[in-house]
Amino acid sequence: MDALLLIDTDDASYPSDDAMETLGDIVTRTRAVGGVLIFASTKADLVDTPDEELSIFVPDEEDLVLRSESPDVFEGVDDLAAGLHDLSVDRIIIAGADATVGVPSAGAGGAAADPTAADPAPTDPAAQDDGDADDSASSANAPGAVYASAMAALVCNFDVIVLSDSTADPDGKLVTWSDAAERAGAMVKKTADTWLRM
């Protein structure tokens, strides 16, 4: 059985009108068939927000509403994976707001590994000796909530579908890490082409 997991779809975090309209279609379809619909928030400032205000899709009493202390909701919500397995969920369809910085696993196929990339960044010996360089490198590939949770779901033995046209960054632009997600084992599909299994 499938579960639809929507992360950080509050009004401030999910500003893309196009993505909202696209995602709204599968939310409607999921509710119509009584599917498992999960709303998760990773925003500390929304911890006391009423459930029905936690998403632009207005969660109701039939939906599962979660608050995570970590961008990875499987880490931030106790026993989430076990609970979903108990419900016979074996595939997670995921979308929402994602603030991934850079392209995950760039060394496995991103610009850093592309011999055709023009004008590689110059090497500054002074910068290499600066302790701040390590901090910059680590933050350059910081995973956002959708990416981190999708990767965690794979580790927890779920099949994963990322809805590429319903996952947007804080500026409302669609994310660019779909190839990295596919390399990691997730499927990447358009929302209109995705149907939940019951």
- The CATH number given to whatever domain includes residue 163 is 3.40.50.850
Residue 13 lies in a domain: yes
Domain enclosing residue 177, as ranges = 2-193
Q: Evaluate whether residue 198 is within a structural domain.
A: no
Number of domains in the chain: 1
pLDDT of residue 198: 79
Decide if 145 is inside a domain. Answer: yes
d(CA 89, CA 123): 48
Positive or negative torsion for Cα 10, 47, 155, 26: negative
CA distance 78 to 64: 14
pLDDT band at 143 (very low <50, low <70, confident <90, very high): confident
Residue 103 banded pLDDT, cuts 50, 70, 90: low
Does residue 150 belong to any structural domain of this protein?
yes
pLDDT of res. 141: 65
Q: How far is CA 175 from CA 79, 119, 121, in A?
A: 28, 24, 23
Exposed e or buried b per residue across 153-190, where buried means at least 16 C-beta atoms within 10 angstroms of its C-beta: bbeeebebbbbbbbbbbeeeeebebbebbeebebebee
Convert the pLDDT of each residue in 51-91 to its tens digit: 999 999 999 999 999 999 999 999 999 999 999 999 999 99
Answer whether residue 172 is part of any domain: yes
Q: Is residue 173 part of a domain?
A: yes
Asked, for residue 181, whether it belongs to a domain, the answer is yes
Is residue 136 predicted with pLDDT exceeding 50? Answer: no
Least confident of 46-50, 138-142, 157-161: 138-142
| Tokens standing for residue 179 | 């190839």
Strands lying side by side in the sheet with 2-7: 64-67, 36-41, 2-7, 91-97, 159-168, 187-189
Answer whether residue 98 is part of any domain: yes
